[in-house]
């Protein structure tokens, strides 16, 4: 997978929030094989170097950091947070979130496009958290985004892929654009399904962080993503309405 000119070996991106301890976070990231982790600026904010130990842990993992604008509800807030994140984390990459509804955490797609355009013009490499709406996707690409991150389901719900038709349509409509399913993934089977649909990667957090054994779950997701990728490459059979015998009937012995 290549995003913004960078080759990425792992197709699993991992969030870093809500883990029981920093040690478990580190073990989970290593078990997942993830090469990109998302980090909220708020972990680094405040006086007296609050969050410095966390930042040191992330750097010691040797992974690429994708800062996000989690919790931002306006264009101004998202752009300002992104600019601060660029200074703190020394990267032009930004996962852009502009939340429009507090209950569903659905993106405000109008403000998202505007913020994406401003950040792209400012030299950012924008990873927009969006819906599976094709028109919004077109606008984001026109705004300068070179990757799209449609949700599978609302953040933290673990519902999986709520709109398979919409995701499949997005993959077909943008065959050459890196697509990453972001949010709503709850089980390794959900991640495998996303990869079987032809998506380039999945990004998840809660499903691993809140598992009874985050490290084991991270390993399970790594295997699921690999399995889904291989299945897609193997050109799977198409579903059909009628049964079709798997055992040939020609040459069957006649007892009559």
Catalytic residues: 95
The C-alpha atoms of residue 170 and residue 209 are separated, in whole angstroms, by 29
Q: Residues 64, 92: contact at Cβ < 8 Å?
A: no
The C-alpha atoms of residue 109 and residue 125 are separated, in whole angstroms, by 18
Strands annotated E in the chain: 2-3, 6-7, 12-15, 36-40, 64-68, 93-96, 125-130, 149-150, 180-182, 201-204
Rg (the chain; Cα; Å): 20
Backbone angles phi, psi at 148, to 5 degrees: -125, 145
Sign of CA dihedral 216, 218, 221, 223: negative
């Amino acid at each position: 997978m290549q995003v913004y000119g960078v080759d990425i070996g792992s197709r699993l991106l991992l969030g870093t929030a809500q883990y029981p301890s920093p040690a478990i976070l580190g073990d989970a990231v290593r078990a997942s094989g993830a090469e990109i982790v998302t980090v909220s600026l708020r972990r680094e904010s405040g006086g007296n170097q609050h969050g410095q130990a966390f930042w040191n842990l992330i750097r010691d993992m040797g992974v690429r950091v994708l800062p996000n604008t989690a919790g931002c509800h306006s264009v101004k807030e998202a752009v300002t947070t992104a600019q601060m994140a660029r200074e703190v984390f020394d990267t032009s990459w930004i996962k852009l979130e502009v939340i429009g509804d507090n209950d569903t955490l659905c993106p405000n797609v109008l403000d998202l496009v505007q913020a994406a355009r401003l950040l792209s013009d400012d030299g950012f490499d924008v990873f927009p958290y969006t819906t599976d709406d094709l028109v919004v996707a077109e606008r984001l690409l026109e705004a300068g985004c070179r990757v799209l991150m449609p949700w599978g389901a609302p953040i933290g719900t673990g519902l999986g892929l709520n709109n398979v038709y919409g995701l499949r349509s997005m993959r077909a409509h943008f065959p050459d654009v890196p697509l990453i399913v972001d949010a709503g993934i709850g089980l390794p089977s959900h991640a495998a399904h996303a990869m079987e649909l032809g998506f380039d990667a999945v990004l998840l957090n809660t499903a691993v962080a809140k598992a009874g054994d985050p490290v084991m779950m991270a390993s399970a997701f790594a295997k699921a993503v690999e399995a889904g990728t291989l299945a897609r490459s193997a050109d799977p059979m198409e579903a059909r309405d009628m049964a079709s015998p798997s055992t040939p009937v020609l040459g069957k012995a006649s007892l009559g």
